[in-house]
């Protein structure tokens, strides 16, 4: 390629990258909507080639996500978990640290919540007062456990120069294996055929408001939105939030300005793990009511990576992104039960949607990392 042609190609790439880097909130929403539409269209073509009715499939998607009160409650249930785990990922990503271990922190936090409630229940009153106290104390235990489990890879990165991607991935497997052993052994509920802990007391539950379903409460969603607002404020309005971002992206600059970069990295991973612990606590209290083998509880912590990417690692942007993923999960659950479309095909289409909506942000991150879009 000639020098002039190379320069023109570089200029085009720079303009594209600049648009991705400087995209406004409205433009990001438009990109996400266009990506999802294209993914769904390709998915419908795949459904048609597989011999199924694509129009009926699309109708099942809409009904499964928003068809009635139960479908909407199911969508909001998944949305709640995706928002919290997505924010946990976003905290670390915003600070230039890759926390791929949110799933493990989610598992450890949920397990700690259930065990704390079971251990403390005999010493506290029953009824609404005791239920609120146990939920608060159990959530605190989950936050501490999730934060401690998040701090571990932070310490290894800051003081041992360990790659946090590798350590957090490995810690996911350790959490799943260790908690799986505990719920099948020392903490298995008496008389349980399945590897589950004992069930927490019935009075330890969130009130059923708006939706009369056993595994979702609007109160849980409200708590989630409060957490999102608090994290967004910390990151945007406090010195600690500024130090987090600076330490993750410009360690030398942070150190020069008097910030202990290593300590801040540990604090970032701890805060990320704490939010994952809240998600685990909410999952244990609102949805399960006990704790089971974590190998079968869902991959919310892994899916949260795509949620955070779609939201450009912005805690406020995680809310609509989490709602989108919640709707897709809810639709998938409905289709599996009420449609003859193979489960593998459904999962593939949902994966295609996830891929398409996440790709624009991956391009943005790649442009930022490689310097495309900047001044020459």
- Structural domain boundaries of the chain? 69-339
Q: What pLDDT does 53 receive?
A: 87
The string of DSSP codes covering 38-104 is HHHHHHHHHHHHTTS-HHHHHHHHHHHHHSSHHHHHHHHHHHHHHHHHHHHHHHHHHTT-----HHH
CATH value of 69-339 in 1.10.3470, 3.30.200, 3.30.70, 3.90.550: 1.10.3470
Asked if residue 354 has pLDDT above 80, the reply is no
Q: What pLDDT does 85 receive?
A: 97
Q: What pLDDT does 25 receive?
A: 58
Cα–Cα distance, 370 to 18 (Å, whole number):
12
Cα–Cα distance, 105 to 86 (Å, whole number):
13
Q: Region 149-178: what's the mean pLDDT?
A: 95
Cα–Cα distance, 93 to 114 (Å, whole number):
29
Q: What pLDDT does 135 receive?
A: 97
- Band of residue 369 on the pLDDT scale cut at 50, 70, 90: low
Cα–Cα distance, 57 to 76 (Å, whole number):
21
Q: Region 170-195: what's the mean pLDDT?
A: 93
- Band of residue 190 on the pLDDT scale cut at 50, 70, 90: confident
Lowest mean pLDDT across 39-53, 316-330, 356-370: 356-370
Quote the percentage of the chain above a pLDDT of 70. 83
Do 272 and 157 contact (CB within 8 A), yes or no?
no
Question: Exposed, middle or buried, 215 (CB in 10 Å: 0-12/13-18/19+)?
Answer: middle
Do 307 and 42 contact (CB within 8 A), yes or no?
no
Cα–Cα distance, 229 to 222 (Å, whole number):
11
Do 108 and 173 contact (CB within 8 A), yes or no?
no
Lowest mean pLDDT across 194-198, 220-224, 309-313: 309-313
- The 10 Å Cβ neighbour count of residue 313 is 22
Do 175 and 107 contact (CB within 8 A), yes or no?
yes
Asked if residue 21 has pLDDT above 60, the reply is no
- Band of residue 359 on the pLDDT scale cut at 50, 70, 90: low
Reduce the DSSP state of residue 196 to 3 states and report it. Answer: strand
Q: What is the pTM of this model?
A: 0.87
């Amino acid at each position: 390629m000639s020098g002039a042609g190379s320069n023109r190609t570089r200029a085009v790439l720079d303009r594209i990258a600049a648009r991705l880097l400087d995209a406004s909130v409205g433009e990001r929403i438009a990109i996400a909507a266009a990506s999802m539409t294209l993914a769904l269209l390709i998915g419908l073509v795949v459904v048609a080639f597989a011999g199924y009715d694509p129009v009926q499939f699309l109708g099942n998607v809409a009904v499964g996500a928003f068809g009635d009160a139960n479908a909407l409650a199911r969508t909001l249930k998944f949305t709640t978990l995706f928002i919290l785990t997505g924010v946990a990922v976003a905290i670390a990503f915003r600070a230039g640290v890759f926390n791929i271990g949110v799933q493990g922190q989610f598992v450890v936090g949920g397990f700690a919540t259930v065990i704390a409630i079971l251990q403390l229940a005999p010493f506290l009153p029953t009824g609404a007062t005791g239920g609120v106290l146990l939920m608060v104390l159990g959530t605190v235990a989950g936050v501490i456990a999730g934060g401690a489990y998040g701090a571990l890879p932070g310490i290894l990165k800051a003081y041992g120069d360990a790659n946090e991607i590798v350590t957090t991935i490995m810690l996911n497997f350790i959490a799943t294996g260790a908690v799986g052993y505990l719920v099948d052994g020392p903490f298995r509920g008496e008389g349980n055929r399945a590897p589950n802990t004992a069930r927490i007391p019935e009075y330890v539950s969130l009130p059923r408001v708006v939706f009369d379903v056993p595994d979702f409460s609007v109160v849980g969603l409200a708590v989630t939105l409060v957490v999102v607002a608090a994290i967004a404020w910390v990151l945007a309005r406090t010195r600690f939030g500024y130090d987090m971002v600076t330490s993750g992206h410009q360690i030398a600059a942070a150190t020069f300005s008097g910030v202990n970069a290593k300590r801040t990295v540990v604090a970032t991973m701890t805060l990320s793990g704490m939010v994952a612990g809240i998600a685990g606590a909410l999952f244990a209290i609102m949805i399960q009511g006990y704790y089971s083998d974590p190998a079968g509880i869902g991959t919310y912590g892994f899916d949260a990576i795509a949620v955070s990417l779609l939201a450009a690692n912005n805690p406020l942007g995680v809310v609509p992104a989490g709602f989108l993923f919640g709707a897709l999960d809810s639709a998938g659950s409905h289709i599996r039960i009420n449609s003859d479309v193979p489960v593998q095909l459904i999962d593939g289409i949902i994966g295609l949607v996830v891929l398409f909506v996440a790709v624009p942000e991956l391009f943005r991150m790649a442009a930022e990392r490689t310097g495309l879009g900047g001044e020459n």
